[in-house]
Chain A
Amino acid sequence: MRGWAAVLLLVIVVGSVVSQATAAGAHGQGESDESRQLVLQAIAYIVDDSGNHEAILDKIKDAQRAKHKEGVALDLVAQAQDLFEATDVHQARSLLERSIGARPHRGTGEPAPIREVGPPPKGAEAGRAVPSDTLPGRDGLDGADWAVLAGFLAIGAVGVLLAVRMRSAKHGVGT
């Protein structure tokens, strides 16, 4: 019994230490006072959470008001804000990327380190260097989707039914 009490205590101690450490790390991120960092965060929202318009707009506005504006073309950020407010997210992201010197990877040579930006594309390469947006997984189900869904639901149900019927006398599905 004392052994299990020690296990419980250990788990509680590890859990609280880790949660406090990670919470401190998260708070340490705070609100940046660097325009470049805020532009990066705005792009991150567009790429990862494009529906979060309020957060994206906040980051774009904060980037223009930040104390340290080095390395950012603020005129492009301002244009990006106008375009974003006009719901042209694609162009807004492109302008935000250009405002910090980022550009589409041309993909012709070896991958460069993340923070290094290659020379501007030339000739035919320029045509390839077009930024694309996230292609969402799905925007609604059509008739064929519903049929496939029904088919696989049936397959799953048959599988579960057979598994239950084939279980051993002493052991159930969950044991």
Chain B
Amino acid sequence: MTTTPEHIGTTRRRRVLDAVDERLGVTALQYPVPEHANNLAWSLGGLTAAAFAILVVTGIVLTQFFNPNPDAANASVRHIVLDVWGGRFVRGIHFWAAQAMYVLAVLHLLRVFITGSFKRPREGNWLIGVAMFALVIGALFTGTVIKWDQEGFEALGHNLEIGRLLGGLGIWFTDSFSRSLSLLVRLYVAHIAIIPGLIIGLLTLHAALIRRHGISPSPAVPDAPEEVREPFTRHLRRLGALSLALVGLLGVLAVLFPPAIGPAPVEGIEVTKPLWMFWWLYTLENQWGVAAILWGTGALFAVLVLVPFVDRSKERSWRKRPAALALLAVVVVLLVALTVATAFTSPAAHLG
């Protein structure tokens, strides 16, 4: 028997991998999952997590230079963009990764709804996903406020007003909760620690429940037990490739369309619109005032929370669930129409 250099290289690599596996148990990830787990629609949750990871990394860089005190916040964002090497680019990636995370989370929610993946025994995991979606919106909102331009200033005004509307429940969102620290600094802490911490905790639980219940079946595969199985590591590899494509896209967007930073806050005026994902709420606010933000958000999340308790049939195919699809269509049409309406209206004053 001859020993070739290739054979020696392979043996060494095998030994290294075995040594790593003995200590970290990497091969435990090679458990079988159905083949459909590898398609793009079933990878949207993983891609959302990838966007979150990008946000954490770029966020850590930004926190080294950002000053959350109200008298310095806007200037420190300008400092990051103008003076810090690569600062404009890192902020651009952070900005676009936040948009990507929101869009991917929405698409993931839609996929789970359409394929009935929230059904028994996965109702609890749907609720965890809805909670994470709420946290993503919270991260977007706090991120908007802490850059402390006119848009952020007005968003904080809404935050205060809604906190007051909530009465005792909204005390954390008002400046009377802590007299020793500015509300802006507390929202910054929420943005960099409380919200990401909660997301990581829920994400861990989400993943553990997916492991416990298995990848949800695809209605497109009629004979699930006969479906080809592949190791989960293959799914992770493909997710890595898709994440690489996402990084490329975010980098291109960050170079071509870096976000602007608005003027430092001016008291006594309300002249900006929120980020596009809040536009549907802005239209409601235009019609019925600030309280409509609370009612609109509450209604959307009430619908999301009720989904697994209302649609309880075993049927997963969307073709055989017209009532569920009707509900989805109504919600989507409502949200899109309300969003488009804001695109054609001028900013208006609602506070005060």
Contacts and interface: CB of A to CB of B under 8 A. Distances in A.
Interface of A: 3-4, 6-7, 10-11, 14-15, 18-19, 21-23, 25-26, 29, 40-41, 43-44, 47-48, 93, 97, 100-108, 110-118, 128, 130-138, 141, 145, 148-149, 151-160, 162-163, 165-175
Given A47-B150, A135-B81, 7 more contacts: A25-B345, A97-B266, A104-B266, A152-B248, A155-B244, A159-B246, A166-B237
The winner among A6, A23, A115 for most chain B CB atoms within 10 A is A115
Interface stretch (B101-109, B124-132, B325-333): B325-333
A11 B329 contact: yes
Given A41-B346, A105-B266, A166-B241, A10 B337 contact: no
A152 B73 CA distance: 30
A173 B241 CA distance: 11
Contacts, number: 255
A40 B327 CA distance: 40
A160 B237 CA distance: 13
Interface in B210-232: 228, 230
Contact of B326 (A6, A112, A115): A6
The winner among B182, B238, B273, B344 for most chain A CB atoms within 10 A is B238
B189 interface: no
Contacts of B237: 166
Contacts of A137: 92, 257-260
B321 to A, nearest CB: 9
User: How many interface residues does chain B have, given as a range?
Assistant: 35 or more
Given A104-B266, A175-B41, A138 B258 contact: yes
Contacts of B283: 22, 25
The winner among A102, A128, A132, A151 for most chain B CB atoms within 10 A is A132
A107 B265 contact: yes
Contacts of A105: 70, 153, 264-267
B27 interface: no
Nearest to B86: A148
A141 B268 CA distance: 37
Given A135-B81, A148-B89, A10 B326 contact: yes
A19 B248 contact: no
A115 B266 contact: no
Nearest to B243: A159
Interface stretch (B10-18, B31-39, B52-60, B200-208): B31-39
